[in-house]
A and B are shown apart, each in its own frame.
Chain A
Amino acid sequence: MKSKDILGKFNTSIVDLNLDGAVEATKEGLKLEVSPYNLMEEMRKASTVVGRKWESGEYFLAELITAGAIMQEITKMIEPQLTSKEAKYRGKVVIGSAPGDLHDIGKNLAGICLIGAGFQVVDLGVDVPPEKFVEAVKKENPNIVGISALISSTMLGVGGVVEALKAAGLRESVKIIIGGAPVTDEYAKSVEADGSANDAIRGVKICERWVASTQKIHRSN
């Protein structure tokens, strides 16, 4: 099979939620020495198509999660093959659920979609106190901090994270996006976050726009 056909099969398998097809295409591609970087780029294109299917209402959460699972699986196969020069991410995002919030479904989905879109993601988990966000920003030097809050009571904790980043002198070094069901742009403004998203796809698009306008480039560690 030619590499163009393999990339086509690779892309279609992801979009059509065919795990076996995606894994097979990845193996064939690596065997035929298709550039791992090209495979990652193709995955990002497929991820965009999945995003469009979500926006059009064809795909739902179940499909996004499945696509994410497939992309995670093939990323594990491809990443070790990338040279340090090639392992260039579009940006780095630190994500976590708001203080007191034990939900992780939305956060996990956002993380998967960000990886699919070419970001490096550092996941702090659930119920993340403000000081842990601060510590992660100091250590990881991300472009973006993403805070997930599924319910209105934990959404109130987001302001504390923003304040902690300000107090640590880190606020200007990152963009902050808050995600979750009750979150609105108005609320994001009120806590001085930079943006908000009710769904992962919209959140990824916002992150893509932000990194396109900055100079921070992250390479794999």
Chain B
Amino acid sequence: MSFPALFEKEEVVEKAPKCPGERYTPRERVWKILEHEEPDRVTAELAGCLSYITKQAYFRLKHYLHIPLKFTEIDFWPRPASYNPWWLMGNDEEIYRRFRIDFRPVGLYHKKPFVPQKLYPDGSYIDEWGVHRRAGESYNEMIVPWTLEHATTVEEIVDDPYWPDLEETYSVDGLAKRARMLDDAGYAVAVTNPNPVGGVLESASFRRGPHKFYEDMYLHPKMAEALLNKVTELQIEAYEMLLGEVGDYATMVGSGDDLGGQTRGLMSLDTYRKYIKPREKKVLDVVHSKTGGKVYFHSCGEIEMYINDLIEIGVDILHPVQPECPNMRLEDLKEKYGDRLTFCGGIGSQHILPRGSVSEVEAEVKRAIKIAAPGGGYIVAPGHCIQPEVPPWNICAM
């Protein structure tokens, strides 16, 4: 069943409304911001396009706003996160309009309702990218045993049967049309990362197991390289599939790789430059060759030490800018990198969003705008995923 056939009638995208006082269309506004010019107002991203909101927080938000759930939101097929109780791909248009969100997402979708590659008796499963997962109470997570943790040769890694067949799994039918309609309507088309696991580091780590993979980089480098090369190849294939259809309409293209922990990066710069950076660059070179849109890069945690390298390999927008990390204060990053990077995020999601008062959330957002929005180069967004316990009134306040 193809994407458009899911709906009773042909999808229509209404022209983006221009609210009183606004001078630009959403796309024009976002482009001004990305080109480091001040537009008519700040732009915001709620999640569903570039950042993330959990199902639980999203459903409570809808309930709070008296917006009914749609059947497509209960199971998210045909979006990539259809099996996932955690991420949501694309919000209700009513929510986007209520909060004047300028972005609209476009991404790969499953050809058929998600069927895991393998299902275990305990309910865990191997997903389409070969990662072992289980749905916990709050979210869906990658778990042991890692599907490549027992591999002892390069061949076992390269020939592993759980690598995805992207053409079998995903479809691009109707995507070009949808992207064009959104672009014509004046929205900033946000092309979502086609890899639901993340980037090359995450994809390698979550197949091999993070501990084993980090050990491999030091103790079994050929294994680390073989695994990284394989995920890089798949990542490129996925982007080629997606951007071949929508690259002409993209304002920004999502990518990412979790490089940071809470207080420091996950690896030294030398290790990053040896193993990860060249492969990330290879992927982003392909992305830039297929679109005039800007590259949006998600990386949790403390990643200041990698920022110059990320800019070098073609990252244009950085998310989520976790303010709880020691060197990720918006004011410092704006001063140091603000002429070369757009920042998306910076609103505390570990403490303020889930546990702050409405006035604290408002104060935090105003603070972030004051620091980072002058001269363009800033998109208001949560400093990470909107967790299940974030109250809907705090989301509204943000």
Contacts and interface: CB of A to CB of B under 8 A. Distances in A.
Q: Decide whether A and B assemble into one complex.
A: yes
Interface of A: 17, 19, 57, 59-63, 65-66, 68-69, 99-105, 108-109, 126-127, 151-154, 156, 181-182, 198-199
Interface size class of B (residues with CB under 8 A): 20 to 34
A101 B389 CA distance: 14
Interface stretch (B18-26, B29-37, B149-157, B257-265): B257-265
Nearest to B220: A19
Contacts of B210: 65, 105
A102 B134 contact: yes
B245 interface: no
Contacts of A65: 210-211, 214-215
Nearest to B136: A102
B144 A63 contact: no
B219 interface: yes
A210 B350 CA distance: 29
B387 A60 contact: no
Q: Which of B219, B265, B266: most chain A CB closer than 10 A? A: B219
Contacts of A127: 136-137
Nearest to B265: A60
Q: By DSSP majority rule, is chain A's interface helix, strand, loop, or mixed?
A: loop
A100 B137 contact: yes
A181 B271 contact: no
Given A60-B267, A62-B214, A181 B261 contact: yes
B351 interface: yes
Contacts of B217: 62, 66
A151 B384 CA distance: 11
Contact of B136 (A60, A100, A198): A100
A198 B302 CA distance: 13
B143 A102 contact: yes
Interface string B247-287: 00000000000000111111110010000000000000000
Q: Which of B134, B211, B215, B324: most chain A CB closer than 10 A? A: B211
Nearest to A187: B351
Given A66-B219, A68-B211, A100-B137, 18 more contacts: A60-B264, A60-B265, A60-B268, A62-B218, A62-B267, A65-B211, A65-B214, A100-B136, A101-B136, A103-B141, A109-B211, A151-B139, A153-B139, A153-B387, A181-B350, A198-B262, A199-B261, A199-B262
B219 A19 contact: yes
B263 A199 contact: yes
9 contacts: A60-B265, A60-B268, A63-B218, A65-B215, A68-B211, A102-B141, A152-B354, A153-B139, A198-B263
B374 interface: no
B138 interface: yes
Contacts of A103: 141
B388 interface: yes
Nearest to A59: B268
Given A66-B219, A152-B351, A61 B387 contact: no
Contacts of B139: 102, 151, 153
A153 B268 contact: no
A40 B228 CA distance: 36
Given A102-B134, A102-B143, A62 B387 contact: no
B267 A104 contact: no
Contacts of B389: 152-153, 156
Contacts of A100: 136-138
B266 A61 contact: yes
Nearest to A19: B219
B211 A181 contact: no
Contacts of B141: 102-103
A198 B142 CA distance: 21
A153 B267 CA distance: 26
Nearest to B219: A19
Interface in B353-398: 354, 387-389
Contacts of B267: 60-62
A97 to B, nearest CB: 10
A198 B349 CA distance: 17
Nearest to B385: A151
A183 B41 CA distance: 36
A108 B144 CA distance: 12
Contacts of B265: 60
Contact of A153 (B218, B261, B264, B388): B388
Contacts of B354: 152-153
Contacts of A109: 211
B220 to A, nearest CB: 9
Contacts of B138: 100, 151, 153-154
A151 B385 CA distance: 10
5 smallest beta-carbon distances between A and B, as pairs: A102-B141, A181-B262, A100-B137, A62-B267, A62-B214
Nearest to A186: B351
